[in-house]
Chains A and B, each alone.
Chain A
């Protein structure tokens, strides 16, 4: 994955160095994230981020000469869904092309899956997806379907979902 300015990605916190967190985003270099780049963060009110946490943010600076910089607020200072991703859930990797397909407006895969079970989904442009459903089994079923969507045609996908909702 090559970081691009404005891309929303899921990063894994690898180190805390003073005022800055180092995140692994799947690129050639680790991204830096300042602790002040969260909604409502001040010098006294620090966000509770530990090594190993998942963060959903966007790139502020990303070019081939410098280390990429991430933030969890947008230009107006609101978080708009970005920040630390909660406990539980499942993180897995897919190809970058599938992510772009899933992020297209009115994606059929997501609509069909949402009719199956309710679930929470975070898509990172770096190929990482985080899923959380009510039970572990439901979560794993959704993970398997998303991974298989890479190679299945629409017909095969409808058949697989029909079989699952029949059970």
Chain B
């Protein structure tokens, strides 16, 4: 049973129920921290769980250490800005913003890295979250592993490129080679 509840409303005391997601306890009472719908679920062991839910499903947030799929939107000589599209294998309803710094692109030879030879705008990249970021809510990401890096990239001709090595991809139509930091995807995940 769901009923709309405003933000900050005192729901009940901690003796009647336990705090679930979207709530917090203060001075022996449970308050809501989200503006949404109040949900009371009865657990078999002990007290019912009170939680406040916004939208029908809960938003999945990228956590530190999670592998995310993102799309490069702009590059700079010092970092690349990305839009985080998937966390693990679940798509996000609204994209988060992320930053991949120049020194986090590779694990070896960090000073010789050139962002232009690792990513280009429009590439799909597998990266790992290293920090939740600063006040501008930009997640800090890293591709400093063999399994992380560019997965899908298009050449200047508009055709999807085929990886040749960990640092090069080739266009099947024009046969031009481009530099990217290519991810070594496990063979069982590749679909032909």
What residues make up the interface of A, taking CB atoms closer than 8 Å to B?
61, 63, 65-67, 69
Contacts and interface: CB of A to CB of B under 8 A. Distances in A.
Interface string B47-83: 0000000000000000000000000001111000000
Interface in B66-103: 74-77
Nearest to B156: A64
Sorting the interface of chain B by its residue count into under 10, 10 to 19, 20 to 34 or 35 or more gives: under 10
A105 B121 CA distance: 39
Interface string B107-123: 00000000110001100
A65 B121 contact: yes
A65 B77 contact: no
A63 B116 contact: yes
Interface of B: 74-77, 115-116, 120-121
Contacts of A65: 74-75, 116, 120-121
16 contacts: A61-B77, A61-B116, A63-B116, A65-B74, A65-B75, A65-B116, A65-B120, A65-B121, A66-B75, A66-B76, A66-B77, A66-B115, A66-B116, A67-B76, A67-B77, A69-B77
B112 to A, nearest CB: 15
B77 to A, nearest CB: 7
Given A66-B76, A69-B77, 7 more contacts: A65-B74, A65-B121, A66-B75, A66-B77, A66-B116, A67-B76, A67-B77
B81 to A, nearest CB: 12
A66 B116 CA distance: 8
Contacts of B120: 65
Contacts of B76: 66-67
A44 B74 CA distance: 34
A111 B75 CA distance: 45
A23 to B, nearest CB: 16
B76 to A, nearest CB: 7
A61 B116 CA distance: 10
Nearest to A63: B116
A66 B81 CA distance: 12
A107 B62 CA distance: 63
B101 to A, nearest CB: 16
A104 to B, nearest CB: 30
A139 to B, nearest CB: 39
B57 to A, nearest CB: 36
Q: Which of A61, A66, A69 has the most CB of B within 10 A?
A: A66
A63 B77 CA distance: 12
A69 B116 CA distance: 13
Nearest to A32: B77
A63 B115 CA distance: 12
A51 B116 CA distance: 30
Nearest to B76: A66
Nearest to A67: B76
